[in-house]
């Protein structure tokens, strides 16, 4: 059985080992009409990414036993179209460059403005929708 690489539009997977932050981000993004999945570890994130095929992933840079870029590398093997936003309390240039090298579309510093992330995702989805209809 071949895994579909088609992403589910309007869906977001949030990966963070801070449970309170996960709940807050989930609730905020649902307010934008997005379907939100959450994972507190990389194993669950990989499982949910394979099953749900989210259009976006919001990935914490530092997770137990992994960096977010390692997880992104694994996810892009089976979901190359998924767009990843990296979040980190450590906004150091080396981490940002590494994240971009792994295909991350944006790096945002914690504490987050969920309004900014929500608008960013909605704008990206609208842009993609318009380009699909025009092409």
Largest CA-CA distance found in the chain, in angstroms, rounded: 44
| pLDDT per position as a tens digit, 69-112 | 888 899 999 999 899 999 988 767 777 787 888 888 988 888 88
What values do phi and psi take at 19, rounded to 5?
Answer: -60, -40
pTM for the model: 0.86
Q: Determine the angle formed by the axes of helices 42-52 and 68-78, rounding to 10 degrees.
A: 20
Residues 6+ apart with CB under 8 A from 44: none
* CATH numeric code, 8-134: 3.40.50.2300
Closest to 60 (Cα-Cα) out of 117, 7, 9, 6 = 117
Mean pLDDT of 28-36: 94
Tally Cβ neighbours within 10 Å of residue 78: 14
């Amino acid at each position: 059985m071949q895994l579909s690489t088609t992403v589910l539009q309007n869906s977001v997977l949030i990966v963070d080992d801070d449970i309170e932050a996960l709940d807050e981000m989930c609730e905020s993004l649902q307010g934008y009409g997005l379907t939100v999945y959450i994972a507190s570890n990389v194993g669950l994130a990989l499982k949910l990414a394979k099953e749900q095929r989210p259009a976006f992933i919001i990935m914490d840079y530092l997770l137990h036993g992994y960096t977010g870029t390692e997880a992104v590398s694994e996810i892009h093997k089976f979901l190359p179209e998924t767009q990843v936003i990296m979040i980190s309390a450590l906004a150091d240039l080396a981490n940002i460059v590494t994240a971009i090298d792994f295909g991350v579309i944006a790096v945002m510093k914690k504490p987050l403005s969920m309004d900014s992330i929500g608008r960013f995702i909605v704008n990206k989805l609208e842009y993609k929708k318009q380009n699909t209809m025009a092409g």
